[in-house]
Amino acid sequence: MELAQKGSEAYIPLKQLLVKMKWTTAADFDLAALYKTKDGKEGIVYFGDLGNMNAFPYMMLSGDEGVNDTGGDNEEEMRITQLDEMEKVWIFCWDYGQVQKGAAARFADSDIKLSVMDDQGNSFDVKPDTGTTGNVICIAMIDNTSPIGAKLVNESKVGTLKGLQRSEQLFDIVK
């Protein structure tokens, strides 16, 4: 199933998820997840804190690809093994070099593809859908506030940062 437009959504199971971001563009894109738990804790999983699959926050990033704007078959993966405690999880991509400079990213000229797969084999492709210029994009959100289950939403919210020092900078984009 494809979530190609901003605001498109699909319900997903609460078991395990695999988030893959692929690109061949010569850019140092980074996959990250910002989260807020049902009891109000906030945090981030990214290349500086890869997370933990077997303990809180029950999500882990595979590593960092495309460093120094390396083109080719770049792929970063994030496994989410539990969503029970999460209220919301936002899936971000940023252009590392452009964030450092505070300059616009190359999202429009890139071939970023985000896929979310559940443990039942269902795959959801989420395409960035924005004409807005920035260097950080919240591509998708997992909203776990509904009693009928978690919902995957194409967020496509863009922001511009000059350096990333605090996760609050990313929360400002999704608010």
- Per-residue pLDDT of 111-127, as tens digits, reads 888 999 988 888 999 98
- Per-residue pLDDT of 84-112, as tens digits, reads 889 999 999 999 989 999 998 877 778 88
Return the pLDDT at 133. Answer: 81
Separation of alpha carbons 110 and 94, rounded Å: 12
- Per-residue pLDDT of 33-53, as tens digits, reads 999 999 999 999 999 899 999
CB-based contact 80:16 (threshold 8 Å):
yes
Among candidates 92, 95, 111, which has minimal Cα distance to 103? Answer: 95
Please tell me which residue, 28 or 65, carries the higher pLDDT value: 28
Separation of alpha carbons 112 and 75, rounded Å: 10
Among candidates 79, 96, 102, which has minimal Cα distance to 29? Answer: 96
Our measurement of the distance from residue 110's CA atom to the centroid of its chain's CA atoms, rounded to an integer in Å, reads 16
CB-based contact 29:94 (threshold 8 Å):
yes
Return the pLDDT at 42. Answer: 95
pTM of this prediction exceeds 0.85: yes
Instruction: Give the mean model confidence (pLDDT) for residues 137-150.
Output: 90
Separation of alpha carbons 106 and 135, rounded Å: 8
99 token code pair: 């964030």
- Homologous superfamily of domain range 2-174: sav2460 like domains (2.60.60.30)
CB-based contact 32:44 (threshold 8 Å):
yes
72 confidence band (pLDDT: 50, 70, 90): confident
Domain spans of the chain? 2-174
